[in-house]
Amino acid sequence: MREKSSATASTTVTADRVIGLTLGALGVLAFSMSLPATRVAVQELDPWFVAFGRAVGAALLAWAYLRFTGAPRPNRSQWRRLSIVALGVVVGFPVFTSLALTTQTSAHGAVVITVLPAMTAVFAVLRAGERPPLLFWVASVGGLVAVLAFLITSGAVHGALSAADLFLLAAVVLCGLGYAEGGALSRELGGARTICWALLLSLPVTLLITLVAASAHPPRADAAAWSAFAYLTVISMFLGFFAWYAGLARGGIAQVGQIQLAQPVLTLLWSALLLGETVTPASIGAALVVLACVVLIQRTRRARATGQDATADAVHRTVSAPCAGAAPGTRHSRERPTTPINP
């Protein structure tokens, strides 16, 4: 009976991992267009309006979702953690990327966000208590180096560190924190409710700054800029997090977070389509290397999970084994009592 239970548990864990990776990939796909869309939007609209206005629009969608689903309110501890999520992904990342992309290209921004998976993993260790194995970090660094090498050789990196680079680095740090905290909190609230409550928590601040920005620089833009702004509002700030946080909660923050290694390459592809930037054939090779690193990362997770299952099974057998020299049929004093199964 226990073997069947173990098999069922293993199947459940595997299914959760696959679902988590799939949802995480959808989230990365949604986020990969955020930098190009921001670049398009801030060419016509004030960066402060873009950063906070999209949060206001997403908050209205969040209010409708929570009202429709009848979601219960978070408790006091969860509100505190939601403030960290809001600081990272509702305020920090949009503000600093909007400011940076007024002077830098989205391709240049893709270079800096390459460190986002590693930053997410670091905060997963600090905030969510995860402990990835050494091979995980080796694969993560390998993917990071591969993407950086591709971006450098393709000409995306140029010049010295600028204010825009500092803005992007600040965005990455805050976003990694928001990803890790939100992924951990999604295990309690669910991915959709986590981002929705974070958006509503931020609404008093985001609405005020949006109104001030709109008053100082009345928003006037062409159709392309408004379309980019709509994408940032509905996809990047709202629906993308539904998939992303749910994926982090199911598949593990550190491991699923490494799917972001593919995001810079995807961002360059979107930049070519939206902004007319040239993408070299080396992008295919870089994508394959990054994919190999992601696969290796997932193998380290499976190997670790298998080792933990084997250890737990060995402990169970040791505890359940009869004492040496005990009378036949006598149980060891430390064996867990068997719970009768009702028909």
Q: Please list the rounded mean pLDDT of every run of 10 residues in the chain (343 residues).
A: 52 70 90 92 95 97 95 94 95 94 82 77 73 77 74 62 82 90 89 94 97 95 95 95 88 76 81 72 65 67 51 44 44 40 36
Check residue 319 and give its pLDDT: 41
User: Rounded mean pLDDT of the chain?
Assistant: 79
Check residue 75 and give its pLDDT: 95
Count CA atoms closer than 13 A to 101's CA, side-chain side.
34
As a whole number of angstroms, the distance between CA 42 and CA 194 comes to 28
Check residue 120 and give its pLDDT: 80
Check residue 252 and give its pLDDT: 77
Check residue 161 and give its pLDDT: 60
Buried b (16+ CB within 10 A) or exposed e, 231-253: bbbbbbbbbbbbbbbbbbbbbbb
Check residue 315 and give its pLDDT: 39
Task: Identify whether the C-beta of residue 282 lies closer than 8 Å to the C-beta of residue 299.
Answer: no
Check residue 175 and give its pLDDT: 92
Give the CA distances from residue 88 to residues 81, 123, 175, 199, 260, in Å, rounded to whole numbers and listed in that order: 11, 12, 5, 11, 16
Check residue 320 and give its pLDDT: 45
Q: What is the CA radius of gyration of the chain?
A: 23
Check residue 343 and give its pLDDT: 37
* Pair of tokens at residue 174: 């805050």
As a whole number of angstroms, the distance between CA 299 and CA 293 comes to 10
Q: Which of 244, 264, 252 is nearest to 143 (CA)?
A: 264
Measured in degrees and rounded to the nearest 5, phi and psi for residue 122 equal -60, -45
Task: Identify whether the C-beta of residue 236 lies closer than 8 Å to the C-beta of residue 31.
Answer: yes
Check residue 222 and give its pLDDT: 94
Measured in degrees and rounded to the nearest 5, phi and psi for residue 326 equal -75, 155
The fraction of the chain above a pLDDT of 90, given in percent, is: 41
